[in-house]
Amino acid sequence: MVFSSLYFLLSFLPVFLLFYYLSPVKWKNATALLASLYFYAWGAPSFIFIIFTSLIIDYYMVRLAALSEGKKRKRLLALTIVLDVGILAVGKYLNFGVDNLNVVAALFGSEGIRMARIALPIGISFITFQKISYVLDCYHGRTRPLDNLFDYALYILLFPQLIAGPIVRFNEVALQLPAENRPLSHDVLMEGLLRFLIGLSKKVLLANALGEVVDAAFELPAGELGMLSSWVVIVAYAFQIYFDFSGYSDMAIGLALMMGFRFPENFNFPYISQSITEFWRRWHITLSRWMRDYLYIPLGGNRVSTARLYFNLSTVFLLSGLWHGAAWNFVIWGGYHGLFLILDRLFLRGWLQRIGKAPAMVLTFVIVLIGWVFFRSPSLAYSMAYLGQLFSFQGGEMAVFASHRFWFTFGLGALFSFMGVFQVVESRASRWYENTTPLRQLALKLACSLALGWLCLAEIYASGFNPFIYFKF
| Active-site amino acid positions | 324
The whole-angstrom separation of Cα 173 and Cα 463 is 37
Residue 171, number of CB atoms within 10 A of its CB:
15
Chain centroid to Cα 310, Å, comes to 25
Which region holds residue 110: left if phi is over 0, alpha if psi is between -120 and 50, else beta?
A: beta
- H or E element at residue 323: helix 306-324
DSSP state string for 347-376 = IIHHHHHHH-HHHHHHHHHHHHHHHHHHHH
Q: SS3 string of 42-109?
A: HHCCCHHHHHHHHHHHHHHHHHHHHCCCHHHHHHHHHHHHHHHHHHHHHHHHHHHHHHHHHHHHHHCC
Contacts of 231 (CB under 8 A, 6+ apart): 369, 390
Which region holds residue 300: left if phi is over 0, alpha if psi is between -120 and 50, else beta?
A: left
**Size of the chain in residues:** 473
- H or E element at residue 28: helix 25-43
Please answer whether residues 217 and 272 qualify as being in contact, where contact means their C-beta atoms are separated by less than 8 angstroms. no
Q: SS3 string of 237-300?
A: HHHHHHHHHHHHHHHHHHHHHHCCCCCCCCCCCHHHCCCHHHHHHHCCHHHHHHHHHHHHCCCC
- H or E element at residue 127: helix 124-139
The whole-angstrom separation of Cα 206 and Cα 239 is 8
The whole-angstrom separation of Cα 284 and Cα 265 is 9
Helix axes 328-343, 357-376, angle to 10 degrees: 160
Contacts of 311 (CB under 8 A, 6+ apart): none
SS3 content of the chain, % helix, strand, coil (to 5): 75, 0, 25
